[in-house]
Amino acid sequence: MNMKTNLTYGMVGAALDSFIGSVHRVGAGFDGIAFLAAGCFSRNEEKNRKCGEFYHLDMNRVYKNYEEMAEAEGKREDKIDYVVISAPNNAHYKTAKAFLENGIHVFCEKPLCFEVEEAEELKKLAEEKGLLFLVNYSYSGNVMVKEARELVRQGYIGDIINVNAEYLQEYLVDDIGKGDQIMVKLSSWRKDPEVAGISNCVGDIGTHIENTVAYMTGLRVKRLAAKLDYFGQPLDLNANMLVEFDNGAHGVFCSSQVCVGHMNGLVIRIFGTEGAIEWHEEEPNVLFVTKKGCPMQTYHRGMGYISERAASMSRIPAGHPEGLYEAFANMYKVWNAAVLAKANGTELTESELDFPTIDDGIEGVKFIHAAVESSKKDAAWVEL
């Protein structure tokens, strides 16, 4: 039997003017394995067509809507191997369901969907159909996030006793005092409950904290006590919470879109009985590592002392910065290998399964619901 060596994919969402769509296209194609073959890039006919033309697609495979695309692709002999769902949140559940029903693997943006029941239904469907499902918590694609995970796994910092994590942005600070008017600017859908779901700040960036911490530490949030601030808007713009992990340790997660001076300040600090690890998304090529009793050390991506697993995801020599595009490329490197292994009927290895799955997506949806519920109850503890 000839082994399959490359893949085709389609996209839902991700027109040329979208934020994250082009990052996906660069990431998916980085290693020359996956090629864009179909799409429904926008509900706007002109934007949809322009995107298809820009990528020189067969225009018969540029579809009016996701239903048509899932059905038509599912019937083709050369159907896409997977779909990338990069439309806003309210499209995730129904789109993922349609593609799973038509036998196509799903790579879906976060948050997975609105309701926990929907998330569990998607999991069941993927399992029944024997299909792979990735939920794009993209920061785990960073080499130094992988290095942090390896150090924790090796016991380098001992038992984890505390986590302090923040994701601070300022871009919605002008919304304060604007009543419930939704200011129209890029991605204003994030503040619209119909499109974003029950949360803006926790749903959009708070869930990245939850997942990146889980990836680095292996710990899951068991319960949380949260206070969300709305500043008169329909959805939250700021969230402070205390979390308890399944090993009994506690932590603080702060996410905000109204912190002046911060652009994309995701910072994760993990404290153990023997040491500490700190990673900053705005400085992703380094990891700060402290062994108890010693000064803080700066580990650099690309250097010989980095673990084999993390080093295998590093693409250019140390000192040349890697960033968001490479993190996406790493996510796709693992995913493409998994989809190929599945197509070739080979057993998936641990490294091919090193991506956020639908279980991570389900945890994310539970986390959002718990945070909103806790805040409504004046920061009472809520189990996930």
Ligand X SMILES: NC(=O)c1ccc[n+]([C@@H]2O[C@H](COP(=O)([O-])OP(=O)(O)OC[C@H]3O[C@@H](n4cnc5c(N)ncnc54)[C@H](O)[C@@H]3O)[C@@H](O)[C@H]2O)c1
Can you give the binding site for ligand X, defined by CB under 6 A? Answer: 12-15, 18-21, 40-44, 47, 66, 86-89, 91, 109-110, 136, 138, 187, 189, 204
Rounded to a whole number of angstroms, the minimum distance from the CB of residue 44 to ligand X is 6
Instruction: Give the integer Cα–Cα distance in Å for 372 and 381.
Output: 11
Rounded to a whole number of angstroms, the minimum distance from the CB of residue 368 to ligand X is 12
Return the number of the residue (124 or 185) whose C-beta is nearest ligand X.
185
Return the number of the residue (246 or 282) whose C-beta is nearest ligand X.
282
3-class state of residue 88 by DSSP: coil
Rounded to a whole number of angstroms, the minimum distance from the CB of residue 309 to ligand X is 22
Rounded to a whole number of angstroms, the minimum distance from the CB of residue 21 to ligand X is 6
Return the number of the residue (88 or 302) whose C-beta is nearest ligand X.
88
Return the number of the residue (91 or 131) whose C-beta is nearest ligand X.
91
User: Count of CB atoms within 10 A of residue 309's CB?
Assistant: 16
Dihedral angle sign, alpha carbons of residues 307, 309, 314, 317: positive
Rounded to a whole number of angstroms, the minimum distance from the CB of residue 259 to ligand X is 18
Matching residue, tokens 């995730």: 92
Q: Which helix (H) or strand (E) holds 217?
A: helix 207-217
Rounded to a whole number of angstroms, the minimum distance from the CB of residue 296 to ligand X is 28
Rounded to a whole number of angstroms, the minimum distance from the CB of residue 113 to ligand X is 10
Structure tokens, 134: 């990735």
Which amino acid type is present at position 42? S
Return the number of the residue (41 or 253) whose C-beta is nearest ligand X.
41
Return the number of the residue (66 or 271) whose C-beta is nearest ligand X.
66
User: Count of CB atoms within 10 A of residue 277's CB?
Assistant: 25
Helices 92-101 and 116-129, axial angle in degrees (round to 10): 20
Matching residue, tokens 């996410």: 255
Instruction: Give the integer Cα–Cα distance in Å for 111 and 274.
Output: 34
Instruction: Give the integer Cα–Cα distance in Å for 174 and 213.
Output: 30
Return the number of the residue (151 or 216) whose C-beta is nearest ligand X.
216
Which distant-in-sequence residues (6+ apart) come within 8 Å of 185 by Cβ?
A: none
Instruction: Give the integer Cα–Cα distance in Å for 7 and 34.
Output: 5
Rounded to a whole number of angstroms, the minimum distance from the CB of residue 380 to ligand X is 28
Return the number of the residue (25 or 105) whose C-beta is nearest ligand X.
25
Structure tokens, 343: 């197509």
- Are 172 and 257 contacting, i.e. CB atoms less than 8 angstroms apart? yes
